Structure 1
Amino acid sequence: MLGRTPGWAAVVAASLVALVAGGCRGDADPTAAETGAPPAVVELQERWWAWAASSPTERNPVADTDGRWCDVNQPSDVWFLAGTFGDRVERNCTVPAGRPLAFPLVNIVGAEPDCAAFMTDAEGSAVWDGTESEAIRLSGERVEFEGAPGNPLTASDGPRSAVSCGLWVQLPPPDPGRHTLRIRGWAGGFSTAVDYTLTVTEASSTAS
């Protein structure tokens, strides 16, 4: 994420995208959890921002430099990935079986004019195991979420109401094993880059 001007926060995903307060408020959609479906597009941005702003800088997945904080405050029905504040990092993460992935390539929260300007030249790519994934463009949408004390995205704790936009990717639950994800995003003078190595666990079996 990158702070441009007051109210302009840019965050790029490094491991894909995000309904009101999704995983952080504990109101995950049980249907999605059971079917492995990604979160609805209309909910995606709000849920992701709620997740990304739910932890302080020292444990925040956007500020994470190696993947050690990948699992912080993850919801039960999706696995969010994050970009950076403008630098390039490599992250190694373990992902539970059966979780769809969601992440932004590049995104912001701010005012409507911020989003309009940001999306004019926003571009990015996500390459999963050597194959480029399709991204969706989400224009200005009102989101409401809670920022945790010390979180690096909102600069303050408490409720936040803003307009969000960006380029997003959603992937179905990956097969168990090791996978690579290369995320790149840029808009205006901001760019972000994340190289993920994701190890998906085997599904647990229940004895009958």
Structure 2
Amino acid sequence: MADEDGSECERNQPRDVWFLAGTFGSHATRACTVPSGRPIAFPVVNFFGDGSDCAAFMSSAQGTVLLDGKAVEPETYQDNSVTVHSTQGNAVTGEEGRFTTAGCGLWVQLPSLELGAHALKVRGRSDDFSTGVDYALTVEASSK
């Protein structure tokens, strides 16, 4: 999430989906190469806490996503139970450990994209918290 330019885009990616990061409430411009055949998932705006925190956050959550200039509708997640596995020094939790909490937000899940260049613009807001990321995505043939 602190990656300003996309140089950390490949870090810790699972084999079955490609995750793109949001921000901590700022704007970032990132370039990222994605292997072909991978669906892509990313937050528009999201939060975790207890159920009432999520309800308050989601009461004003809104966002827009443009992929190659075309609108993509985010999915709403209200109060899902999530398990967080955090390492020491984690920028989100600040501590190491495993805990279960409520997660909420607006997310997008895209099927794998065609080979080549794609522009992705993500904007999200809830009350006075806002986030934005402009991604220059390049989908390349997978080496596997």
Could you tell me which of 97, 101, 110 is aligned with 2:36?
97
Percent identity between the aligned chains? 49
Matches within 5 A, 1:190-205: 190-204=129-143
Could you tell me which of 11, 20, 25 is aligned with 1:86?
25
Q: Which residue number corresponds to residue 58 of structure 2?
A: 119
1:161 shift after superposition:
1.3
Instruction: Show structure 2 runs of 5+ residues with no match.
Output: none
The answer on 1:76 being equivalent to 2:15 is: yes
1:145 shift after superposition:
2.1
CA distance in 1 between partners of 2:142 and 2:94 (Å): 38
Give the aligned residue type for 2:43: P
1:69 shift after superposition:
0.4
The SS at the match of 2:95 is coil
1:155 shift after superposition:
1.1
Q: Which residue number corresponds to residue 164 of structure 1?
A: 103
- Higher fraction of helix: 1
Matches within 5 A, 1:127-142: 127-142=66-81
Give the aligned residue type for 2:91: P
1:142 shift after superposition:
1.2
The answer on 1:110 being equivalent to 2:65 is: no
CA distance in 2 between partners of 1:179 and 1:114 (Å): 35
The SS at the match of 1:116 is helix
Instruction: Show structure 1 runs of 5+ residues with no match.
Output: 1-61
CA distance in 2 between partners of 1:91 and 1:138 (Å): 25
Cα pair distance change 1:191/1:203, threshold 3 Å: same
Give the aligned residue type for 2:71: E
The answer on 1:143 being equivalent to 2:82 is: yes
TM-score, scaled relative to structure 1: 0.67
CA distance in 1 between partners of 2:41 and 2:50 (Å): 24
TM-score, scaled relative to structure 2: 0.97
1:149 shift after superposition:
1.4
Q: Deviations over 1:142-198 (max 9, x none)?
A: 111210111101110110211000001111000111111000000011000100001
The answer on 1:185 being equivalent to 2:113 is: no
Matches within 5 A, 1:23-62: 62=1
- Higher fraction of strand: 2
